[in-house]
Amino acid sequence: MTIATDFAKERSKRESGAPVVTATGIAMAFGSRTLFRDVSFEVKRGEVFVILGGSGCGKSTLLKLLIGLFPPTAGSIEMLGTNILTDDDDAREAVRTRIGVMWQSGALFGSMTLLENVMLPLEAHTKMPEDARREAARIKLGMVGLSDAANRLPAEISGGMAKRAGIARAMALDPPLLFLDEPSAGLDPITSAGLDQTIQELARDLGTTFVVVTHELQSILAIGDRCIMLDKEAQGIIATGDPRTLRDTATHPTVRAFFRREVMA
Amino acid sequence: MSSSEAPTLTRDGDRLVFTGRLDADAAALLWRPATAARAEVTGALTLDLTAVETLDTNGAALLLHAAGSEAAPKVEGASAPVAAVLARAVTAAAAPGPAQGGRPHSFLSGIGAQAFGLLARGQDRVVFVGETMLAALSYIIRPRGVRLSDLLRHLDEAGTRAFGLTILLGFLLGVILAFQSSIPMRQFGAEIFIPQLVGVSLLRELGPLMAAIILSGRTGSAYAAELGTMTVNEEVDALKIMGIDPIRMLVLPRLLAGTLVMPALALLLTLCGLIGMGLVMLGLGFPPTATMNQLRQTLSVGDMAGGLFKAAVFGLAIAGIGCRCGLAAGRGPQAVGDAATGAVVGGIVATIILDGFFAVIFFRLGW
């Protein structure tokens, strides 16, 4: 697939308002244990889409299915115009350069500085000269507030800094679609709010679409345009919509308990 | 402009005119031309972005490079989305970079710093040896804190699971030694003495030495990696906070296992080596009885006891070095790799040095 074809396809999709991600009837089971079934949703261009739910409901597994780490038991996933389960390897490989993933721990390479971590995708997938890669990586680190830590190793920074550096690396190729796995988990409220603000600014200024897996209520309400809520008992989606509306109007007992921090009877 | 057209840069007096989609591909294409065009501008530079379709942060890096300054460049004709991305990039690029490190060491102070580092590392090792000895003594006085299940697991991992490799290497070593020594011995008609040569070599030197190399590669590195991972994951700190001595719980079982399995491995390796040598002798036309008679004439219980004692000391050293490297691991995944490397290298070097000491001591004692 040529770059020109990619661009044309992407632009025509934007013009037609087509979704960036379409998941249809996804099911996942490990052996005889079903995690979820019949999960369907769409992620629209430019929105911050949140996958939420309690511990063990399969949020992170769903994220891994979406990014193509392993296939679901059933269903189909279309991302940026490519069916990541049935299309050929070249098409799937092309999609991988157009998405970014921030892992829960940051997953930074320990032997490289933060700057080198961010430069790595640029080195692998672009023909930018070394000084251009360095300058672009420096700007990305500046966007997540890590300019002063550019030369530090991952072992020398805090968990919150590692998450922000993970976002900077995920943004290296300026992908139209970013997946974030638990970006706020384990962070103090101030750092967490700063990260939320960064996500909102990137969505607004760069038009990036975000798919965020989290169960941090404050973050969900701050950044989420739309969300789906997974439930372990129901083995699927129990709520879809604007998180603020769900907080105020949901009637499902688990959804109400989640948004109001209530103990389930 | 169609999006399929390549982005361009042209200079119009003091204006740099960009067109098309400015992204990573544009940055790759126009970075060097931008450097050249900027050098030709003599007055106040202006970026004309009227025909720029889209801009991402890689394209913004190109524009900032073309502007030649991290301060907000003078821009004309940018659409609102393009201006927003550029403004964000300008703010990010203007953020203060990493603080400059202190003045580098001069040659002399560099030597001093290295010497102090060496001393500190030496001190750490002495402390580790001291703590381990104290833990061992206190265990002898009050044998609690070392779990039998842990000890058995380590004996299994370091010992029985290494038997296959030990048997193979021992057998091949015996075959090789016998073949190699047969060539010069044949010139003097002294092939019958090959069992004496190989037997003494294996029992006193090569058996313990090869077993030590096996233990160092298999077990020393595993100890370092396991304890290194525990250190990185703060499990060792958790033990300390719970009032449990990590030396007693983590190090002593491994030291005991290393010390106990090494004589067994050395003996097994020697026996397999002798079998290999016996087969070569058979091939050379000497019956097993002749080979056994030669071995009986040369080998003594003292040779075997000396070899096994050396093996036990090697095992203690290798296990201790592996544990120490693991507990002294730094942070991050690289630290575990460094610890494992240090354990293997340290274990082999220590074995050779100790073997040298034993050679001198046994010589003085007339063994």
User: How is B1-47 classified by DSSP, letter by letter?
Assistant: --TTSPPEEEEETTEEEEEEEESHHHHHHHHHHHHHHHHH--S--EE
| Statement: residue B162 has pLDDT above 90 | yes
Instruction: Render pLDDT for B50-75 as a digit per residue (tens, 0 to 9).
Output: 999 889 889 999 999 988 865 667 88
Mutate to test the interface with B, among A12, A173, A174, A202 (most CBs of B within 10 A): A174
Pick A132's closest partner by Cβ from B31, B98, B331.
B31
Pick B57's closest partner by Cβ from A126, A136, A148.
A136
> pLDDT band at A265, cuts 50/70/90?
low
pTM of the predicted protein model: 0.69
| Statement: residue A21 has pLDDT above 60 | yes
Question: Could you give the CA distance from residue A52 to residue B172 in angstroms, rounded to a whole number?
Answer: 61
**Mind telling me how many Å the CA of B94 is from chain A's nearest CA?**
8
Question: Could you give the CA distance from residue B111 to residue B114 in angstroms, rounded to a whole number?
Answer: 5
Q: Which residue has the higher pLDDT, A146 or A202?
A: A146
> pLDDT band at A1, cuts 50/70/90?
very low
| Statement: residue B99 has pLDDT above 70 | yes
pLDDT of B202: 93
Across the range A213-232, mean pLDDT stands at: 90
pLDDT of B69: 62
Q: Residue written as tokens 């525990």?
A: B230
Interface confidence (ipTM) of the complex: 0.77
Tokens linked to B171 = 């057998």
| Statement: residue A205 has pLDDT above 90 | no
Q: Residue written as tokens 């009837």?
A: A25
pLDDT of B237: 82
Half-sphere exposure of A98 (CA within 13 A, CB side): 20
pLDDT of B150: 85
Half-sphere exposure of A174 (CA within 13 A, CB side): 25
Instruction: For B247-295, give the DSSP string.
Output: IIIIIHHHHHHHHHHHHHHHHHHHHHHHHHHHHHHHHTT--HHHHHHHH
DSSP secondary structure letter of residue A19: -
Mutate to test the interface with A, among B4, B58, B234 (most CBs of A within 10 A): B58
> pLDDT band at A28, cuts 50/70/90?
very high
Q: Is B57 within 8 Å of A145 when comparing Cβ atoms? A: no
pLDDT of A4: 39
Instruction: Render pLDDT for A50-74 as a digit per residue (tens, 0 to 9).
Output: 999 888 888 889 998 998 888 899 9
Q: Are B95 and A144 in contact (CB under 8 A)?
A: no
| Statement: residue B221 has pLDDT above 90 | yes
Judged by a CB distance cut-off of 8 A, whether residue A188 touches chain B is no
Question: Could you give the CA distance from residue B11 to residue B211 in angstroms, rounded to a whole number?
Answer: 73
Question: What percent of chain A stands above pLDDT 70?
Answer: 92
pLDDT of B1: 39
Pick B65's closest partner by Cβ from A11, A122, A132.
A132
| Statement: residue A143 has pLDDT above 70 | yes
Residues 6 or more apart whose Cβ sits within 8 Å of residue B223: B254, B319, B322, B323, B325, B326, B343
Bridge partner list, A77: A23
pLDDT of B194: 94
Long-range contacts of A115-123 (CB under 8 A, 24+ apart): A115/A141, A115/A150, A115/A151, A117/A154, A117/A165, A117/A169, A118/A165, A118/A168, A118/A169, A118/A172, A119/A172, A120/A169, A120/A172, A121/A97, A121/A169, A121/A172, A121/A173, A122/A172, A122/A173, A122/B24, A122/B58
Instruction: Render pLDDT for A97-131 as a digit per residue (tens, 0 to 9).
Output: 889 988 887 888 877 899 999 999 898 888 999 99
Residues 6 or more apart whose Cβ sits within 8 Å of residue B111: none
**Mind telling me how many Å the CA of B96 is from chain A's nearest CA?**
6
Residues 6 or more apart whose Cβ sits within 8 Å of residue B7: B18, B19, B20, B21, B22, B25, B26, B29, B30
Q: How many residues does chain B have?
A: 367
Across the range B133-149, mean pLDDT stands at: 80
Question: What percent of chain B stands above pLDDT 90?
Answer: 50
Tokens linked to A184 = 């706020």
Judged by a CB distance cut-off of 8 A, whether residue B341 touches chain A is no
Question: Could you give the CA distance from residue B216 to residue B206 in angstroms, rounded to a whole number?
Answer: 15
Judged by a CB distance cut-off of 8 A, whether residue B65 touches chain A is yes
Greatest mean pLDDT among A6-20, A202-216, B189-203, B321-335 lies in B189-203
Question: What percent of chain B stands above pLDDT 70?
Answer: 95
pLDDT of B235: 86
Q: In what order do the strands lie in the sheet with A21-30?
A: A33-43, A21-30, A74-79, A82-83
Minimal Cα distance from A143: which residue of B? B92
pLDDT of B38: 85
Instruction: Render pLDDT for B274-300 as a digit per residue (tens, 0 to 9).
Output: 999 999 999 999 999 999 999 998 888
Tokens linked to A159 = 């968990």
Question: Could you give the CA distance from residue B151 to residue B169 in angstroms, rounded to a whole number?
Answer: 26
Q: Residue written as tokens 């203690």?
A: B316
pLDDT of B4: 53
Instruction: Render pLDDT for B249-275 as a digit per residue (tens, 0 to 9).
Output: 899 999 999 999 999 999 999 999 999
> pLDDT band at A203, cuts 50/70/90?
confident
pLDDT of A11: 40
Question: Could you give the CA distance from residue A147 to residue B99 in angstroms, rounded to a whole number?
Answer: 10
Judged by a CB distance cut-off of 8 A, whether residue A46 touches chain B is no
